[in-house]
Structure 1
Amino acid sequence: MKIKGIRWWMVGLMIAGLVINYLARNTLSVAAPTMMSELSISTEQYAHIVVAWQMGYAFMQPVAGYIVDAIGTKMGFACFAVAWSVVCAMAALATGWQSLAFVRGLLGITEAAGFPAGVKATTEWFPARERSVALGWFNVGSSLGALIAPPLVVWAILNSGWQLAFILVGAMGLVWSALWMWLYKHPRQQTRLSDEERDYILAGQEAHLKDAKPARAQWRKVFGRRNFYAIALARFMSEPAWQTFNAWIPLYLMTERHMNIKEVAMFAWLPFLAADLGCVLGGYLSPLFHKYFKVSLFTSRKLVMLSGCLCMIGPGCIGLASSAYTAIALLCVGGFAHQMLSGALYSITSDSFGKNEVATATGLGGMCGFLGAALFTMVLGVLVTQVGYSPLFVALTVLDLCAAALILILARQVVEPAQPEPQMAPAAA
């Protein structure tokens, strides 16, 4: 039986995987106040634990992207998902900050394939004019996972202990891995895909994505592209904001805004709900800019990123907020802004590289992003007890604005022969 609009069902499957990927990483941030008390972990030691994850994730991203390009989206994503699920559950065995840092470092290594595989799958399944929308929906998984983490982890802590949260998320990852292996196929092999939709997908893809030769990705070719350096530098400057949100919001609300654990469960998920809206809106803004401003699709991606970076001025003003609720509202603006600009960056990456390079390029860009995040986390861990959070949020705003300037100045559209417009009307997501 043929399924209409099956490409959107594939996005739903990818979203579920990214939700669990982010649940695994965000479980720590919500459990951190309780774990720091029970395991006698200081703020600086907590920063070391976060950096261990970020460094593992950073250096493994290009390797993970290369592996996904080499062995394929289906098998690559599944292998890494099984690994991160097992490692996530292992955190329940931690007895101190050193053992926890070791396990989180392993988690960073195993989670590194999430975005390279997701961006590659989206590139395989969508024509160029729909890709920003699809990536926007896919990126929802990152903030949705962070959104679910506070109530899930607090429930586990109140009913059993923080260990239960890590075990539950690990089990969820194993279930998803089985579903991915069962359901995911490339459009050329998907028997439930109609011929009309398959032709629509393939006809709307750029020439550098249509080559069926299984050529391996070559890092030197990726490094030889001007756009790679624009993307890598932008990721280096913009990623610290999102990683700060993921790792520090619950701790910030408890230490700076004096909320208890139940209040954290009630409010810490709100910035990630706003981030979901930023993912989706950013995806739809690109074709709107393309249509109404009469700019190319590539330029429309740049405008979306600029819009998101300008919105990051909101959390930069958090030090002026006297009310905890105003601070949460500004964090919501930040979550919305970052996921809007993040989706635009992934679309620019997808537009800039061939199908056998896109996961590798995404991984290399991610490595640069998480090295920037790790550097900022080390600074934050030392300075937060001396100067507070407010100056650090200002620094995040400045970094994001610099990232937007780099993309506007350096990134250039890949020039190809004109392609005929596909005629099929796109199915609703």
Structure 2
Amino acid sequence: MKFQSTSTLSNGQARSALAVKATKKRFVVGFLLFLGIAVNYMDRSNLSLAAPLLGRDLNLSPVQLGLIFSAFGWSYAILQIPGGMLVDRVKPRLLYAILLCGWSVATCLQAIVNGFSTLFGLRVLLGTFEAPSYPTNNRVVTTWFPERERATAIAFYTSGQYVGIAFFMPLLVYIQATFGWRGMLFFTGAAGVVYSVVWFIFYRDPKESKADAAELDYIRQGGGLVDVGEQGGARKGGWADFKHVLKNRNMWGVFIGQFCLSSILWFFLTWFPTYLVKYRGMTTIKMGFMASVPFLAAYVGILCSGFLSDFLLRRGFSVGFARKVPVISGLVLATSIVGANYVQDQTAIILFMSLAFFGNGMASITWAFVSALAPKSLIGLTGGMFNFMGNLSAVAVPIVIGMLVKDGHFESALVFIGSLALIGALSYVFIVGKIERIVLPE
């Protein structure tokens, strides 16, 4: 019996033939990324769960609490570009393990703080170690997944930021009720230290893994950058390259959109539990369960988004159309957060929050734009620039909300978040055009 060579088949037929007989090691990598993101966001958001009790014990004002919430974002945003450049030079297996261990130790140390300054400093340290994490994720998914599977892969691993919080939130509230907020912070940090070892043991780059030649060819033919960094080594990523990427109109469109999208997320990661307890009258225990519902909604939203986007791509729609549809739809839906200002019933409040966060999840495949736009030799740097612009919201939003609610009313804060969601949708409609990979000058 003779088999037809994949070289005589069409590109689509060749990819299908390779996919059938290839190993599936990329799916294991996707699961490792998912677990890493779950740990990542558990350590980012645990302070928001502790905030009502921690703020009372440390005698923090709303403005001080806003500064504490934003402290992570200061170092996280500033170090995105240096972190992205680091990603282009250090292999993910070693780099991610060091980052995981570093930010997890910083989380453990938060359990022994006794004042504003120490806690602020440790949150800055947390942001320092987490800064290169998402550019690392983007490098991994760009090297391990073909274009036609990439939105689904990004949606799956990004969903860890929602599902981890959603499922762990009741557990963390229980730990906090039993061992106090200090015990809860220590527990989350220790879990990250353990996972840093797991990552180092199991992760490998494609050519160093147990993926067979068929899977590597399938990824390569589908646009996955299996060979990234091998053509003469990684590019230095100097000022000229930086300026060339910054001149790209599409990049500015996704920069603005990412700032707006991240602003919604940072409201939920910082002020949301305090909003429910202090401004809507929920008990801490009830908040722990009710606050998990919007995160579950966001989890469903991002999975739907990834599947929808890749489905549209497989049906022949352009990359730009397939990626924009769920992002724009999700950001428009996220404006519904303003509806919580017009209801008093706690179930209705959670309903509006869930609808808005579902929209946020729908829009959260934006890293697919970075994978499609980034120059082949500057995946880390471009991802760092993208994440820097987006996570300026981690600095601004907690402080702005703290200023808006200092008079005891939260309505204007929700209008602020809803307005940013609308601006983000308009950015993808009017600024982001045809999606093409940026080619650097020689």
Name which of 331, 350, 371 aligns with 1:309. 331
Aligned counterparts, 1:71-220, within 5 A: 71-190=90-209, 192-205=210-223, 212-213=230-231, 214-216=233-235, 218=237, 219-220=242-243
How much has 1:273 moved relative to structure 2? 0.9
Structure 2 CA distance for partners of 1:354 and 1:208, relative to 1, 3 Å? farther
Tell me how far apart the structure 2 counterparts of residues 207 and 144 of structure 1 sit (CA, whole Å): 29
Cα RMSD over matched residues?
Answer: 2.0
Tell me how far apart the structure 2 counterparts of residues 335 and 122 of structure 1 sit (CA, whole Å): 24
Moved more, 216-225 or 34-43: 216-225
1:423 aligned residue: none
1:262 aligned residue: 285
Aligned counterparts, 1:309-348, within 5 A: 309-343=331-365, 345-348=366-369
Decide whether the 8 Å contact of 2:150 with 2:310 is kept in 1: no
How much has 1:70 moved relative to structure 2? 1.4
Tell me how far apart the structure 2 counterparts of residues 41 and 115 of structure 1 sit (CA, whole Å): 31
Moved more, 46-55 or 162-171: 162-171
Give unmatched runs, 5+ long, in structure 1.
Answer: 417-429
User: Per-residue displacement from partner, 1:198-223 (whole Å, max 9, x unpaired)?
Assistant: 21111101689767322225233432
Structure 2 CA distance for partners of 1:123 and 1:206, relative to 1, 3 Å? closer
Decide whether the 8 Å contact of 1:317 with 1:394 is kept in 2: no
Structure 2 CA distance for partners of 1:211 and 1:168, relative to 1, 3 Å? closer
Name which of 359, 377, 400 aligns with 1:379. 400
Instruction: Answer yes or no: is 1:391 the counterpart of 2:412.
Output: yes
How much has 1:373 moved relative to structure 2? 3.6
How much has 1:409 moved relative to structure 2? 2.4
Aligned to 1:386, the other structure's residue is in SS state coil
Aligned counterparts, 1:225-304, within 5 A: 225-291=248-314, 294-304=316-326
Tell me how far apart the structure 2 counterparts of residues 362 and 331 of structure 1 sit (CA, whole Å): 29
Decide whether the 8 Å contact of 2:294 with 2:353 is kept in 1: yes
Moved more, 8-17 or 64-73: 64-73
How much has 1:3 moved relative to structure 2? 8.7
Structure 2 counterpart of 1:84, which letter?
Answer: W
The runs of at least 4 aligned residues of structure 1 exceeding 3 Å deviation read 206-212, 412-416
How much has 1:179 moved relative to structure 2? 1.4
Moved more, 117-126 or 56-65: 56-65
Tell me how far apart the structure 2 counterparts of residues 408 and 206 of structure 1 sit (CA, whole Å): 27
How much has 1:175 moved relative to structure 2? 1.3
Moved more, 16-25 or 144-153: 144-153
Structure 2 CA distance for partners of 1:184 and 1:221, relative to 1, 3 Å? farther
Structure 1 counterpart of 2:184, which letter?
Answer: A
Decide whether the 8 Å contact of 2:81 with 2:381 is kept in 1: yes
How much has 1:30 moved relative to structure 2? 0.4
Aligned to 2:364, the other structure's residue is in SS state helix
Decide whether the 8 Å contact of 1:36 with 1:42 is kept in 2: yes
User: Per-residue displacement from partner, 1:86-132 (whole Å, max 9, x unpaired)?
Assistant: 11111012101221111111111111122111111111110001100
Aligned to 1:356, the other structure's residue is in SS state helix
Aligned to 2:174, the other structure's residue is in SS state helix
**Structure exhibiting the larger radius of gyration computed from Cα positions:** 2
Structure 2 CA distance for partners of 1:144 and 1:129, relative to 1, 3 Å? same
Structure 2 counterpart of 1:193, which letter?
Answer: A
Tell me how far apart the structure 2 counterparts of residues 361 and 321 of structure 1 sit (CA, whole Å): 42
How much has 1:75 moved relative to structure 2? 1.9
Decide whether the 8 Å contact of 2:22 with 2:214 is kept in 1: no
Structure 2 counterpart of 1:123, which letter?
Answer: T
User: Per-residue displacement from partner, 1:168-217 (whole Å, max 9, x unpaired)?
Assistant: 11211111111111111111221x21222221111101689767322225
Structure 2 CA distance for partners of 1:152 and 1:360, relative to 1, 3 Å? farther
Aligned to 2:406, the other structure's residue is in SS state helix
Aligned length: 412
1:361 aligned residue: 382
TM-score of the two chains, using structure 1 as the length reference: 0.91
Aligned to 2:208, the other structure's residue is in SS state coil
Structure 2 CA distance for partners of 1:351 and 1:208, relative to 1, 3 Å? farther
How much has 1:307 moved relative to structure 2? 0.9
How much has 1:13 moved relative to structure 2? 0.5
1:424 aligned residue: none
How much has 1:63 moved relative to structure 2? 1.7
Structure 2 counterpart of 1:5, which letter?
Answer: K
TM-score of the two chains, using structure 2 as the length reference: 0.88
How much has 1:226 moved relative to structure 2? 2.7
Decide whether the 8 Å contact of 1:135 with 1:346 is kept in 2: yes
Tell me how far apart the structure 1 counterparts of residues 244 and 87 of structure 2 sit (CA, whole Å): 17
Structure 2 CA distance for partners of 1:39 and 1:415, relative to 1, 3 Å? closer
How much has 1:266 moved relative to structure 2? 1.6
Structure 2 CA distance for partners of 1:305 and 1:245, relative to 1, 3 Å? same
Decide whether the 8 Å contact of 2:83 with 2:131 is kept in 1: yes
